[in-house]
Structure 1
Amino acid sequence: MMARMDRFRSALTSWPQTLALAARGLRTWTPRQVVTAGAVALVFGVLLGLATVLIPNSVFTREIPPVWWNYPVWILTAVFSGMLFATYVRGSATASPSGVEGTTELGDDVEARRSSRFGMIGAVLAWFAVGCPVCNKLALLALGYSGAITWFAPVQPILAIVALLLTGIALVVRLRGQIACPLPAVRVEERV
C-alpha cells in the first residue's frame, strides 16, 4: 500500500515535467502526423456526432435533446482521439519509429498498453456521455426508461469528465513517449 502511495506522489510531482515533455513531443510532429490527426478527428467527430444525433440526421433519432456541455465534450473527444491516433503514425519514412531521431517508440511495454486502453475507454465513455440517455440500449435494458432518465442522465456529465481525462492522459503519455522513453528497471542479482 505504501509503495502505491509513493508511486502516486511521484506521479503527481512529475506531471509538470510530463506536460513539458508532451509539449516538446507535439512540436516535433511532421505534417504527416498533423494531417492524420486532423483527418481522424474529423472522421471520429462526424461518426460520434451522427450516432449521438449531435449532428441532426435521418438515420438516428434522439428523444431527449442534447444539453450545452455535449458539444464541447464531443469536439474535445474528437480532437484528443485524432491526436492520440496520430501518435501511432511514423513521422516520416526516414525518421525513427517515434518520429524523433535518437528516441525509441514506447513499443509493447505496460505504459503503451495502458495509454492505448485509456484512449479506447475514453472514447467509449464519451459516446455514453454525449448520447441520449434513453436511446442508449444498454442503459434502457438495465434501468428502463424512467431509470435511464433518473439514474443514467445525471451520471453522464461525470462520464464526460472521466472520458476527457482518460483520453487526455493517454495523449500526454504518448506525446511524452515521443521525447523521453522510460528505461526498463534493471534487476541486480548478487552472486554468492
Structure 2
Amino acid sequence: MRTPLRGPGVPAWRIWLRWTAGFLAFPIAGLAGRAASGPVDDATSALVGGIVTGAVIGAGQALVSSGRLSPLRWSAATTAGGGLGLLLGAALAGYRTDLGSLALMGAVEGVLLGMAQACALPHTARLPWLWAAAMPLLWAAGWAVTTLAGVGVDARFTVFGATGALTFSALSGVLLHHLLPVTTPGRTTRPGSLREVDA
C-alpha cells in the first residue's frame, strides 16, 4: 500500500504556508550561532557562527519542505554554504553593520549558499540554477528588511532577524514551488496549480 507524501487535494498555498512558517528556524539559528561564536567581528566567529546557523536553518527548511528536500543533503549544503558564505561576506563588508554593508554581506553569502543548495536540490528540480541566482538577492533582502525594521543589527548577528526571515521564506517558497513541485507516488502537483492531478 502506497503512502502519499500528503493528502490528495491539499491546496498548494498550504504547502507554501508551511514553508513560510519555517522562518521560525531563523531566529533559533541566530541564537544558536550567537551562542557558538559570539558577535560576528572576525573570521573565526563568522565561520563558526555561519556553520552553526546554517545547520539549524538547513534542518528547519528540510523539515517544512513537505518531503521535497533531502534532510541530509540540504542540511549539509546549507551548513557549508552558510559557513563559507558568512566568512567571505562579512570580511568583504569589513564587519560593518550599515545597510549597504549588510546587503553586500548577504549577497555574497547568498552566492555561496545558493550554489551549495542548488546542488542539493533533487534531480527532478526544474532549472535549479534559478535557485542559485535568486539566493544573493533574497539573502540581501533579508538583511535589508531586518535593518529597515529597526532591529539592532549592531550586535552583529549571524543571520537576519524574524522580519527579514519572514520576507525571505515567503519569497523563496514561491520559487521553490515552481522549481520543485510536490510529488507523490502516482501524483504530481504542477507548477502554479493548486491541486494534485494524476500523473
Q: TM-score, normalised by structure 1?
A: 0.37
Greater radius of gyration (CA) = 1
